[in-house]
Structure 1
């Protein structure tokens, strides 16, 4: 469960923005750039686009690092891919339910503004 950091503001979006952009927010986990094209001014959609991009970068970096490590790394790649798939499902569920919760253990970095 995510505990909010008291030093950071809790991300919120306008209820109208959430209702209008739930689908784009959910699709952002499959195509992170979609909100950049379809909902650039939506705080909700851009939040999920950022989360989707962070997930993609973690997946690519993890696969590269584990792919370099012989045997043990190669055995861990399917586990990493499964975890990323579960995170993708969590992110889509957050978007569909109108929540702006960060994915567990993901860094709080804003790549897309």
Structure 2
């Protein structure tokens, strides 16, 4: 069962999304979580950029956005450690890495 073997790498992919690309590119489970980690990174930068451009309301929301990102991060790591392939809310259905 590759999920058990590579679940540590899959969990780390939320910090370093390209790690599975280097270590276990052929493992579908690790690559799934690498994709989720990359999506979380893009989502974080994208939303932060957009909210930073919106005066006052965007800046206020920008204060709370890291909490949302942290919750998504924890959800992804927990899914990887439980050997589950659950998509993250809102962004999880997008596939960039195959």
Per the shorter chain, which TM-score range?
A: over 0.9
Cα separation, 2, equivalents of 1:76 and 1:112: 30
After superposition, the C-alpha distances for 1:60-86 in whole angstroms (9 at most, x for unaligned) are 000000000111111111211110111
Higher relative contact order, structure no. (Cα contacts within 8 Å, ≥ 6 residues apart): 2
Higher Cα radius of gyration: 1
Segments of 5+ residues of structure 2 without an aligned counterpart are none
Q: Give the ranges of 4+ consecutive aligned residues of structure 1 lying more than 6 Å apart after TM superposition.
A: none
After superposition, the C-alpha distances for 1:11-69 in whole angstroms (9 at most, x for unaligned) are xxxxx110110000000000000000011010000000000101111110000000001
Residue from 10, 14, 27 that aligns with 1:29:
14
TM-score, with structure 2 as normaliser: 0.96
Cα separation, 1, equivalents of 2:30 and 2:77: 11
Segments of 5+ residues of structure 1 without an aligned counterpart are 1-15
TM-score, with structure 1 as normaliser: 0.84
Residue from 97, 106, 112 that aligns with 2:91:
106
Q: RMSD in angstroms over aligned alpha carbons?
A: 0.8
Aligned residues: 98
